[in-house]
Structure 1
Amino acid sequence: MSRNQWQKSSFSSSSDNCVEVRTVDGMVELRESDTGDIIVRTTPPKFAKFVQGIKAGEFDHLTT
């Protein structure tokens, strides 16, 4: 991923309703593509733990 360039998941296809991620000054930033002015900023280790939790299904109960 290029620095400062927003990237979305390949699963999002051409949809504008997705989460985008980028790195800026050593931090990871996330936003929803349809509300791009709201940005969540975290460290790479915390982001990695978050992604691990997603893959493990820890947040599945929030989607039902």
Structure 2
Amino acid sequence: MADTQWQKSTYSGSNDDCIEFRSAGALVELRESDDGDVILRSTPTTVANLLRAIRAGELDHHA
């Protein structure tokens, strides 16, 4: 199903505890790099909204 290879932020360095993304048709797939068997699929709009909320600190109270 995937169109591209997994990508992670350059801020992650060589750590294995980060989120990776790839495109999969009309969807975006996300996984935690150290648990690659669990994959979340969502729309690009939903992922963009999630990233916007994270950058804006709107989810900090969950940390």
Which structure 2 residue ranges, 5 or more long, are not aligned? none
Q: C-alpha deviations, 1:7-64, integer Å up to 9, x for none? A: 001110010111100001121000001100000000011111111100110111122x
How many percent identity over aligned positions?
A: 51
TM-score (norm: length of structure 2): 0.90
In 2, distance between residues paired with 1:17 and 1:52? 21
The one-letter code of the counterpart of 2:50 is: F
Instruction: Tell me how many residue pairs correspond in the alignment.
Output: 61
- 1:43 corresponds to: 43
- SS of 1:29's partner is strand
CA RMSD of aligned residues (A): 0.9
Structure 1 segments of 4+ aligned residues over 3 angstroms from their partners = none
Which structure 1 residue ranges, 5 or more long, are not aligned? none
Matches within 5 A, 1:8-47: 8-47=8-47
TM-score (norm: length of structure 1): 0.89
